[in-house]
A and B are shown apart, each in its own frame.
Chain A
Amino acid sequence: SQQGEEDPQALSIQEGENATMNCSYKTSINNLQWYRQNSGRGLVHLILIRSNEREKHSGRLRVTLDTSKKSSSLLITASRAADTASYFCATDAPGANNLFFGTGTRLTVIP
């Protein structure tokens, strides 16, 4: 299975702190994405990084990708209570149209 795994499974921080989540996967990929899921809602796409990219920024989000280690990290800077959610990484393999989702990190930002 190509399913990724996020680490940690759960993370609790104070508002204003930075949050770092990691994702590992098993096989070659075209792209890696991060999604957010608020409680009771569907997943929402946050950011995509291609396999030939090493770092990408979007607002308070910073994503890194290390294809040699088959891992990625998502950094959320200056966290807010509204960032409380589950975060999933998802990969797509060459020639495939579907995504493989990780197990998710549950982030709680305490006001």
Chain B
Amino acid sequence: DAGVIQSPRHEVTEMGQEVTLRCKPISGHNSLFWYRQTMMRGLELLIYFNNNVPIDDSGMPEDRFSAKMPNASFSTLKIQPSEPRDSAVYFCASSRGGGAFPTPTQYFGPGTRLTVL
């Protein structure tokens, strides 16, 4: 298995631009998580999905952030408009949650390093 795939790996953009981060979870995993990591705030959970349905988006900083999961193999995190304080590493993770044999272990992608100038 290829593991969790994220793209792009690096993104540099200017303030005010729209940014879209992409994630492909591990096949067969039905839970997907978006995290943000910074030196100041550590690892923050932004939103997570079960079976493509958003379960908890209380970590999404503000309305500029939105996330979708149109199918079991793809999710996006969009920031519009972006601001310099959004600069961080964004991780996607997946797990085999729920069902008869749930597992809490999460598998992380390599992350997208976002820099907003």
Contacts and interface: CB of A to CB of B under 8 A. Distances in A.
B73 interface: no
B105 A45 contact: yes
Contacts of B91: 42-43
A44 interface: yes
Contacts of A25: none
Given A31-B104, A42-B109, A43-B91, A97 B31 contact: yes
A97 B42 contact: no
Contacts, number: 52
Contacts of A30: 104
Contact of A98 (B43, B45, B108, B111): B45
Interface string B79-117: 000000000000101010110001011111111000000
Nearest to B48: A98
A45 B110 contact: no
Interface residues of A, number: 19
A30 B42 CA distance: 23
Interface residues of B, number: 24
Contacts of B4: 42
Contacts of A98: 33, 45, 48, 55-56
A88 B33 CA distance: 17
Interface of B: 4, 31, 33, 42-43, 45, 48, 50, 55-56, 91, 93, 95, 97-98, 102, 104-111
Interface of A: 30-31, 33, 40-45, 48, 88, 90, 92, 97-99, 101, 103-104
Given A42-B93, A44-B108, 13 more contacts: A30-B104, A31-B104, A42-B108, A43-B91, A43-B93, A97-B102, A98-B33, A98-B45, A99-B106, A101-B42, A101-B43, A101-B45, A104-B42
